[in-house]
Structure 1
Amino acid sequence: MSKSQTVAGIPVPKAGTPEFEKMNNMAKKSIPLVLLIFTFSILEQQAFGMIFVNIGQQLSAPGRAALITSIPGIVLGIVCVIYGSLGDFVSLKKMTLLGVIGFVIGSVIGFVLGPKSIWAVIIARVLQSAGGQVSGSVFLVLVSKYITQKERVVYYGIFVAVFRFSAALGVVLAGYVTRIDWKWLFAAPILSVLCIPSLAGNLPDDHAEGVNIDWAGFALIGAFAGAVTMYFTDMNMFWAIASIVTLIAFILYVNKAENPFITPEFFKNPAFIATMVVIFVGYFFSYTINAGINAIGINIYGIDSAEVSSLLVWSILLAAVLGFVCGPVVKKIGRSASIIMALAFMGLGLVAIAFAIPYGKVAALAVAPCIYYFGTSFFYSPIVDTATLTVSAEESGRVLGFNDLLQAITGSVGVALFGGLMSAGAMSGGSIVNVASGKASTYVNVFLVGGIVVLSAMVIFIACRKVIYSRARTEEED
């Protein structure tokens, strides 16, 4: 067997060694700037997701406005799994610098040419999505490989907090910027170029010796991710067939290829598979909750999306604040207890929204969602940390990539299913909650079903946790 076939990834020094301390210091110097770029990336994603309709109308292309979010979303789903996996093999410094350059170029195109053509806006957002996501993936790889095990949950919590704050800031800024000129949204990320010198001096520049990058494998998994995302974007049978074909092709490839980036043994790891199932079921309602709350506000309480956002944003900010404190809590009570608590609050939060509908918009749209978002703050850190511990440190990037891919797919599946039920007025004949038949009954029942689904993830985790943690990698800590 050749050397390239025996290398699992970039060698990771053992915790406590001088080599590890060196990499740990480099990671800690790089992380703040990586998070700053990630903040810009999420801000852009959320902001343009709020105002793409306005942009389409201004550029006399309302029919193409949705492409401003859908095409970059497809690209995002593809690159998530690729970047995380590449983090096991290639230089994090080179990955990051190329990502920043792409992010800045996209921002410049959007600022200069965006007001002239909707296609320029779409191209700019694609480059921003592809370039900006590198920062998120690199952050997770840095933490999983070069931060001590006892500190990881703290960093993952900070990551969640930054994501939530960035999302809330993007939603708020989008509304105000439209009063001036939306092109200025493209201006802020250009400042990312100032981070390049420091990142170049501190990010790890190691790569796996003797490893040939499996571009064919990445192309197949990327094609599968793109086909699945496209199918749940427009529900076209062509994309359903493409999803099945690319999945079969990927399975055959990893079983037959000489040196695939991920081996069949990866999918025979019961701890890894069980953790991925919990993630899939637990995040099933993640893309639906905001859309569902928006629909409730418009169709039940007769308010517009702006007022819905002003009520909902507080629960998102709560999740952001809790992100900074969840790390110490997880360290205190443990990963397993944290995951159970998080899924319990997420599931009960969806049930609470259903029961709060008869009590008015503040209860249903501002107060009850806080329960769900409280849970999300304590779910991401321990479940991701658990997932990375089911494989060797050299393989953790691939786990992070599949985690990101799975979250994107399950959210798309969930919003397609539950969004379709809400649009069709399904389950409108009545409910155990005291609401009238019709739309109110539909929303109540959809959120009740969503709550049951998320609570089932908690049951699955409890049933499988011995399997998960019996296979989990452990490390010696100082």
Structure 2
Amino acid sequence: MAEATTKERENGVPVPKEGTPEFAAMNKMAKRALPLILIIYTIGVLQQQAFNMIYVNIGEQLGQAGTAPLITSLPGIVLGIVCVVYGALGDFVSLRKMVVLGTSIFVAGSVLGLFGTANIWIVVAARVLQSAGWQVSGSLVLVLVSKYIEKRNRVIWYGIFVAIFRVGAALGVFLGGYMTLIDWRWLFGMGIIAVFFIPVLLKNLPNEHAKGARVDIVGLVLIGAFSGSVTMFFTDKNWFWGTACIVTLVAFVIYINKAANPFITPDILTKPAYALMMVVVFIGYFYAYTISAGANAIGKNVYGMDSSQVSNLLVWGFILAAIVGFTAGPLIKKLGNKISVIVGLGATGCGLLAVAFLIPHGAVLALGVAPCLYYFGQAFVYQPIVDTVAQTVYPEETGRALGFRDQVQVIASSIGGVVFGQIMANGSMSGGSLAGTDSGSASTYANMFTVGGCVVLCALVIFVCASKVIYRGLAGEKTERA
């Protein structure tokens, strides 16, 4: 019925209105599909974290230590590109076809990785394929929840999503070292399990696609090229990539303003609420890729610990984040998104400051206790931020909006990782700190974490100042559409 669904838009699959029989049917299908998709996502996260931990061991075993970093860097670049591509496709194409394509690529990479002992480039190619295929599961979770789960329950599912990420990450860190003692190819073999989920997913995913809509290949290529160029620039600091960033960004902006049906319109990107949330996400996640590397550096150069000892302290933060993800949904619903974002960003920033100021007081406090506050904040803030971003656009646009949110987070974290990585490598800001550390490495890390905490708290200040504009401009608060 026309009145039972939202008005079909030219740039996305129409989404049934909550409370209608059509929505109820989609809701039931989504709840059947989500657990299986989350299992695939967990396997992918586990593999990502494990290979990030043991790529040096793989390189040494294969006699290609210099090439080994590509096992993590190239899949990272691919991941940054496909997160926005899959998010965009989720608004246009059949989710059923998306899961078949993505899972098939993921399984193909898993099979290829079993032959990785022959050549390191096989390992690199296998990880690239796994990353390209695995991300479809993460994108599908966000698309299904934002479109087909009741509004009041979305934060609960977002919480489960972030909890699954933390559980997978903790398992990856824990299992990675043990796999080097057995055979790291077993990590690849885990991905083959996903092929058995395809038949069930085919029965429980929507097969709708936007009528008359075409996939905007040009627009997706341009945004993918921009994403890859940004990542490569801050990885290699090569001005070729810097120029490519500018050229691809300008080309993308011109294209979406001139094209008849771009996959994402300037209207989405220029919505005040959406644009302000992207600023908060960029600044709030600037330190995300640095926390583990920074803690590892503190353990090694300040306390004389090895990586396994540092992991044993950090893992409690992952466990806490997983618990928060699974249990915080009802509290976030009670507090509301605005207060929850404030709490999450505040805890994240204060956690980083706590690491800095607890360095003089020992490894347990600095690397075991303080990061728990950080990881609590990261887990708590994810749900209300994603839910807020999803509500700044129409339901038919949430795939692209959330895909861009992921992209902004990846770019911000990558840039922050390079900036703070250079500080660690160069030993900058080593002359002393407000935390009372001695000159040298301890002061470098204390000052670095202090700066990181202040950056996150700046995101909090911006959010508080802009919250009236953000929540006044939510698409869900607008006049109900036909």
Aligned counterpart, 1:7:
10
State whether structure 2 residue 20 is matched by structure 1 residue 17: yes
Q: In the TM superposition, what is the alpha-carbon distance from 1:307 to its structure 2 partner?
A: 1.1
How far apart in 2 are the matches of 1:32 and 1:294? 34
Aligned counterpart, 1:155:
157
How far apart in 1 are the matches of 2:46 and 2:102? 16
Q: In the TM superposition, what is the alpha-carbon distance from 1:424 to its structure 2 partner?
A: 1.1
How far apart in 2 are the matches of 1:195 and 1:212? 28
Aligned counterpart, 1:318:
320
Contact persistence 2:78–2:132 (CA under 8 A): yes
How many residue pairs get aligned? The number is: 471
Amino acid in structure 2 at the alignment position of 1:14 = K
How far apart in 2 are the matches of 1:133 and 1:57? 28
How far apart in 2 are the matches of 1:418 and 1:55? 26
Question: Once the two structures are superposed, what CA deviation does each residue of 1:27-54 show, in whole Å capped at 9, x if it has no partner?
Answer: 0000000001001111111110000000
Aligned counterpart, 1:116:
118
Amino acid in structure 2 at the alignment position of 1:330 = I
State whether structure 2 residue 385 is matched by structure 1 residue 417: no
Aligned counterpart, 2:406:
404
State whether structure 2 residue 96 is matched by structure 1 residue 98: no
How far apart in 2 are the matches of 1:259 and 1:296? 51
Amino acid in structure 2 at the alignment position of 1:155 = W
Question: Once the two structures are superposed, what CA deviation does each residue of 1:430-469 show, in whole Å capped at 9, x if it has no partner?
Answer: 1111111111111111111111100011100000011111
State whether structure 2 residue 86 is matched by structure 1 residue 83: yes
Partner of residue 50 from structure 1, selected from 53, 58, 61: 53
Aligned counterpart, 2:77:
74
Aligned counterpart, 1:386:
388
Give runs of ≥4 in structure 1 deviating > 2 Å.
Answer: 473-476
Question: Once the two structures are superposed, what CA deviation does each residue of 1:204-232 show, in whole Å capped at 9, x if it has no partner?
Answer: 11100000110000000000000111111
Aligned counterpart, 1:342:
344
State whether structure 2 residue 38 is matched by structure 1 residue 35: yes
Contact persistence 2:313–2:364 (CA under 8 A): yes
Amino acid in structure 2 at the alignment position of 1:59 = L
Q: In the TM superposition, what is the alpha-carbon distance from 1:404 to its structure 2 partner?
A: 0.7
Partner of residue 192 from structure 2, selected from 172, 183, 190: 190
State whether structure 2 residue 295 is matched by structure 1 residue 293: yes
How far apart in 1 are the matches of 2:295 and 2:405? 26
Question: Which structure 2 residues correspond to residues 217-232 of structure 1 after superposition, within 5 A?
Answer: 217-232=219-234
Aligned counterpart, 1:280:
282
Amino acid in structure 1 at the alignment position of 2:353 = V
Amino acid in structure 1 at the alignment position of 2:38 = L
Aligned counterpart, 2:373:
371
Q: In the TM superposition, what is the alpha-carbon distance from 1:474 to its structure 2 partner?
A: 2.4
Contact persistence 2:390–2:402 (CA under 8 A): yes
Amino acid in structure 2 at the alignment position of 1:43 = L
Q: In the TM superposition, what is the alpha-carbon distance from 1:8 to its structure 2 partner?
A: 2.5
Aligned counterpart, 1:136:
138
Contact persistence 2:154–2:387 (CA under 8 A): yes
What SS does the aligned partner of 2:328 have?
Answer: helix
Question: Once the two structures are superposed, what CA deviation does each residue of 1:52-82 show, in whole Å capped at 9, x if it has no partner?
Answer: 0000011111110000001111100000000
How far apart in 2 are the matches of 1:22 and 1:433? 57
Question: Once the two structures are superposed, what CA deviation does each residue of 1:375-426 show, in whole Å capped at 9, x if it has no partner?
Answer: 0111110001000100100000011100110110000111111111121111
State whether structure 2 residue 171 is matched by structure 1 residue 169: yes
Percent identity, aligned pairs only?
59
Question: Once the two structures are superposed, what CA deviation does each residue of 1:82-109 show, in whole Å capped at 9, x if it has no partner?
Answer: 0001100000010001111111111011
What SS does the aligned partner of 1:195 have?
Answer: helix
How far apart in 2 are the matches of 1:268 and 1:193? 40
How far apart in 2 are the matches of 1:65 and 1:306? 20
Q: In the TM superposition, what is the alpha-carbon distance from 1:306 to its structure 2 partner?
A: 1.4
Aligned counterpart, 2:4:
none
Aligned counterpart, 2:3:
none
Aligned counterpart, 1:474:
476
How far apart in 2 are the matches of 1:411 and 1:317? 22
How far apart in 2 are the matches of 1:96 and 1:295? 39
Q: In the TM superposition, what is the alpha-carbon distance from 1:263 to its structure 2 partner?
A: 1.2
What SS does the aligned partner of 2:476 have?
Answer: coil
How far apart in 2 are the matches of 1:362 and 1:108? 41
Structure 2 residue runs of 5 or longer lacking an equivalent are 1-7
What SS does the aligned partner of 1:409 have?
Answer: helix
Q: In the TM superposition, what is the alpha-carbon distance from 1:192 to its structure 2 partner?
A: 0.8
Contact persistence 2:358–2:435 (CA under 8 A): no
How far apart in 2 are the matches of 1:191 and 1:444? 44
Amino acid in structure 2 at the alignment position of 1:219 = V
Q: In the TM superposition, what is the alpha-carbon distance from 1:6 to its structure 2 partner?
A: 5.5
Aligned counterpart, 2:210:
208
State whether structure 2 residue 239 is matched by structure 1 residue 237: yes
Contact persistence 2:349–2:453 (CA under 8 A): yes
Amino acid in structure 1 at the alignment position of 2:13 = I
What SS does the aligned partner of 1:378 have?
Answer: helix
How far apart in 2 are the matches of 1:300 and 1:236? 32
What SS does the aligned partner of 1:8 have?
Answer: coil
Aligned counterpart, 1:361:
363
Amino acid in structure 2 at the alignment position of 1:50 = M
Contact persistence 2:392–2:476 (CA under 8 A): no
Amino acid in structure 1 at the alignment position of 2:80 = G
Aligned counterpart, 1:250:
252
Q: Normalising by structure 1, what TM-score?
A: 0.97
Question: Once the two structures are superposed, what CA deviation does each residue of 1:236-258 show, in whole Å capped at 9, x if it has no partner?
Answer: 11111111111111111111112
How far apart in 2 are the matches of 1:6 and 1:379? 31
